Amino acid sequence: MPRYTVHIRDEWLAVPCRDTSNTIQWLGNEALTRYVKNKPDNGGITTSVKEVKFVARRCQGWGLLDADDTIDDVLEDNDFVELAIDGDTMSPDYIPCQPGVSHLTAAYKVPEEYLHLDGNTLTATDLVNLGKGQYMIKLTPLAESKVVKARELLDTIVKENRVVYGITTGFGKFARTVIPVSKLKELQENLVRSHSAGVGNPLSPERTRMLLALRINVMAKGYSGISLETLHAMIQAFNASCLSFVPEKGTVGASGDLAPLSHLALGLMGEGKMWSPKSGWADAKYVLEAHGLKPITLQPKEGLALINGTQMITSLGAEAVERSQAIAQQADIVAALTLEVLKGTTKAFDSDIHALRPHPGQIEVAQRFRALLDSDHHSSEIAESHRFCDRVQDAYTMRCCPQVHGIAVDTIHFVKKIINTEINSATDNPMVFADRGETISGGNFHGEYPAKALDFLAIGVHELGSISERRIERLCNPSLSELPAFLVSEGGLNSGFMIAHCTAAALVSENKVLCHPSSVDSLSTSAATEDHVSMGGWAARKALRVVEHVEQILAIELLAACQGIEFLRPLRTTTPLEKVYDLVRSVVKPWLKDRFMSPDIEAVHRLLLDQKVWQVAKPYIDKYETEYIPESRPISPTAFSLESPASPRKRLRHECK
Active site residues: 165
Strands 243-244 vs 273-276: parallel, antiparallel or unpaired: antiparallel
Reduce the DSSP state of residue 637 to 3 states and report it. coil
CA distances from 200 to 115, 297, 318, 514, 610 (A): 32, 27, 21, 18, 28
CA distance 550 to 204: 21
Helices (H), ranges, 424-514 = 448-476, 478-481, 498-514
CB 187 within 8 A of CB 170: yes
Residue type, 381: E
CA distance 330 to 337: 11
CB atoms within 10 A of CB 293: 18
DSSP string, 87-143: T----TT-----TTT-S-STT----S-EEEE-SSS--HHHHHHHHTT--EEEE-HHH
Strands 136-139 vs 114-117: parallel, antiparallel or unpaired: parallel
- Residues whose CB falls within 8 Å of the CB of residue 493, separated by 6 or more in sequence, listed in order: 593
C-alpha closest to that of 75 among 20, 28, 126: 20
CB 576 within 8 A of CB 614: no
Helices (H), ranges, 220-310 = 228-239, 258-268, 284-290, 302-307
DSSP string, 405-440: HHHHHHHHHHHHHHHHHHHT----SSEEETTTTEEE
Give the count of alpha carbons within 13 A of 94, CB side only: 24
Residue 526 burial by CB count (10 A; 0-12/13-18/19+): exposed, middle or buried? middle
Residue type, 229: E
